[in-house]
A and B are shown apart, each in its own frame.
Chain A
Amino acid sequence: MTLRVRVIPCLDVAAGRVVKGTRFVDLVDEGDPPTLAERYAREGADEIVYLDIAATPAGRGTFLDVVERTARRVFIPLTVGGGVRSVPEMRAVLRAGADKVSLNTVAVRQPALVRRCARAFGSQAVVVAIDARRRASATGWEVVVRGGREPTGLDAVAWAAAAAELGAGELLVTSMDRDGTRSGFETDLLRAVSDVVPVPVIASGGAATPTDFIAAARDGGATGLLAASVFHRGLLAIDDVKDALAAAGIPVRASGRAA
């Protein structure tokens, strides 16, 4: 018996729709987040992540409605990122049916919010998302915020340790160098973070092949493996990834096909 490594599709949502087009021609509405989330759950996804990429106050009601419609039909864990800047805003997302909220830029700006959210809802509900970029002139990685637009000067590994100390129950670590490049997860970054924090680390950014997922788990020490476009574009099925992980001796939950 052992804890499984998780395979996690991530959906970018704006104006109530999945952005970054998918290629599931058999879905009646492939742009509807709950429809796509349900499909992934059926195919063996271990969790789902939604990112509210617009995160405008005006669009918030629409987004929370998407979360609620998802919670009504998808019975695996749902993490929601984007748009939460306070304890009441986090409460609204959890009340809509999310299990966890991920905090990114706001956590860097107001680290105390991580602690307040963890006190209010428990660490298990608080994910701190860290976008990191390799430093050009020095070793290590720098935290960038606002979707990669703004460097902070913070060391990503030190910030990861601090975030766990503040009460984050999980860290979602994205390599901005790899994100969207399909050149594989940045395993050095993942290893550096997973070595210093006691909480689970979710790998993100760069997934292309099943081998990349194996490397993130085995070499990077990640226990969650997140990807978006490779799943949405049908380049990989959840099954392909899980079969490869299992063949490499990494424990995974039986996929949709096997079940």
Chain B
Amino acid sequence: MESWNRPARNVLEYIEHSAEVFPSNLAFRDDKTQVTYAELLRQVKKLGYRIAEKVSGMPRPIVVFMEKSVECLVSFFGIAASGNFYVCMDTQMAPERIRKILDSLQPAAILGRAIQNEEIFSDYAVLDYDELLAAETEEERQKECLQKIRKNMIDADPLYILYTSGSTGIPKGSVISHRSVIDYAEWVSRTFQFDETTVFGSQTPFYFSMSVLDIFTAIRNGAALQIIPKKLFSFPVKLLEYMRETRVNAIYWVPSALSIVADWRALDYVELPNLRTVLFAGEVMPTRQLNVWRSHLPKARYANLFGPTEITDIGLYYILDREFSDEEPIPIGIPCENIDAFAVTEEGKLIGEDETGELYFRGSFVGRGYYNSPEKTREVFVQNPLHESYPDPVYCTGDLVKLNERGEYLYQGRKDFQIKHMGYRIELGEIEHAAGSFQKLDRAACIYRPEKEQIVLIYQGTAEKQEILAYLKDLIPVYMMPEEMVSVTAMPLNANGKIDRKLLQEQYGEKERKG
């Protein structure tokens, strides 16, 4: 975008710029509604002004309690325009979890559309989106009010808080600033050459960090974000037809969504000549299913992205530039521009050849920590472990990685999933990956029973146990072979569509004995 005189400081500049250069371009669309950039800017300003009238004082969190929709997106930016920051909440979430989040968040208001479960929100101001937008506003006063708010904002101010599950059962809210999101959207746009012709097919929920790429890259470039109805992810052929009809040409999905399309051979039935970019993150992409996509759409660009919510979305990426056999894992690649990623051994040294270490991130994507949670923040937002010369905050991921001979990072699993078994240090993720490459297995996950010293493989698929063992024997050492195998009809997934390891551990592992 050559017309930028200086880097953006507030994501609203993206919308203002797109509304000026591409006013009639489609910004957001779902099954019911759509808005152009000109209309989006008008609605965002009005909503921002109306919210600012109701919520004043220090910037505070405002909860968006809405289904995934165009209105939900307009709300995010309306809240930003009001000088506050948004928190998108899963409307299907258990009331107990909502309550826990509200308790820690103490939001200034809840923004929704005809909210039903009012008793959860009885302690808070509830704002109705449609009422706010319906009211008449006086143009001059609105302009003055919004300008005044903007003058007081800096790019280090929070844009949103995104909650992820905490191992202790209390969700953690990552605070992400305008600066982080802007630097991220700039990197994404440059790296994947997104522009005003891009149409994102949005799959991930807006309370999931992956949606940040679709949303902010779209507004930065005057591109379109098409919300794909969730239901279609049960009907792979229909899903692809829908993408063709809505001219989606870029997707950033979780691997399980891509796998459903591959497993149901949907690409045999529907051609997607316009699909240019296929990105994925969130969990390990099974190479076998990725190869199905690549053989059907050889011209598309594929990339594996990697990073936690705490650093906006992504810190490492790998653009597929060579062939991979079904058994080979896809690298998580190299650091994004202006991001430093490094891995440190237990001894506190940078990893050497063939060594595994814990991954750290440094740079502007790194978030501001957890909201109202100084202790949790201090645990993972730490001083750079490689020096003490000056304050150098880094984020410690809890992910284990090593480097291949090309200098690309390879994912080795979570630190919490690393086990010591018969004296060997084992990544359960490695066993899972080996099992996942087996044609007859749809999904595989591993847990460890520390008391019985057993590795348990839980799988979904048609394979016989003996067959799986025979297959694994060629891929992993004997000491990593599962001692027990459990067949399930459906692998439990969490709210983000990832395998629910906590639940598996509860169901098939043993409770650790205390004392």
Do A and B truly interact?
Answer: no
**B-binding residues in A (CB < 8 A):** none
